[in-house]
Amino acid sequence: MSILPILYSFRRCPYAMRARIAVAMSDVKVELREVVLRDKPLELIEASAKATVPVLVLPGSEVLDESLDIMRWALEQNDPENWLAHVDADLIAANDGPFKRALDRYKYPHRYDLPNGIEHRDQALANISDLNERLDDMPFLAGDKRGFTDIAIFPFIRQFAATDQGWFDALPLPALQAWLDGLQSSDLFASIMIRYPQWKAGDPPATFA
């Protein structure tokens, strides 16, 4: 068994992104196992009945399989920017609930037997317009500095923007666009987007921090 916590992840998954960002910020070392979702390892399935990323297996065999719980765990070990003092549960719930539902149907309409995702794109737009209004008054959702809420929401806004980048860039949402650009151009984000090969049983551990 690994002496480090084991983090099952998938590079492009927004839930996994926010977990990796918190782990990177905490500087807690973990063994990262990059998963290919169409070829999930048995070890992931055995660790969590959900078998979705991210999953964190602690050395004592405790399993965390919710991304927000993994974020909290990492920051409870070390929180150099005091992110845990800036948790807006309502904003995060709106992101993870109605916004994510609309985002999925906008990005993948064929999965839901929809002719296109325009109706759901417009539903999601209401949510990001609210975020833009908040960001008109301060540079981050957490206030003057980035915090837990920013990192919990950011990967999903990034995914929404990338679905039709030209359309998103033309929106009259300058505060939100500046916030997104700043977070995705940060050294912190670059550090968690390094490509790892698909993990297979028996591979040497890949340390991530």
Confidence at residue 61, expressed as pLDDT on a 0 to 100 scale: 85
pTM for the whole thing? 0.96
- Give me 91's structure tokens: 């904003």
- Give me 19's structure tokens: 């977990």
Mean pLDDT by 10 residues, the chain (209 residues): 88 98 98 95 94 95 96 98 96 98 98 97 96 97 96 98 98 98 98 96 88
On the 0-12 / 13-18 / 19+ scale of CB atoms within 10 A, 43 is middle
Confidence at residue 209, expressed as pLDDT on a 0 to 100 scale: 75
> What does 79-121 look like in DSSP terms, one character per residue?
-TT-GGG---HHHHHHIIIIIHHHHHHHH-GGGGT-S-SHHHH
Q: Are 135 and 177 in contact (CB under 8 A)?
A: no
Confidence at residue 2, expressed as pLDDT on a 0 to 100 scale: 63
- Residue ranges of domains in the chain, CATH in brackets: 6-81+190-208 (3.40.30.10), 83-186 (1.20.1050.10)
Count the Cβ atoms, other than its own, within 10 Å of residue 197. 9
Residue type, 91: L
Handedness of CA 173, 174, 175, 179 (dihedral sign): positive
C-alpha distances (whole Å) from 130 to each of 99, 105, 117, 145 are: 12, 20, 20, 19
Q: Are 95 and 149 in contact (CB under 8 A)?
A: no
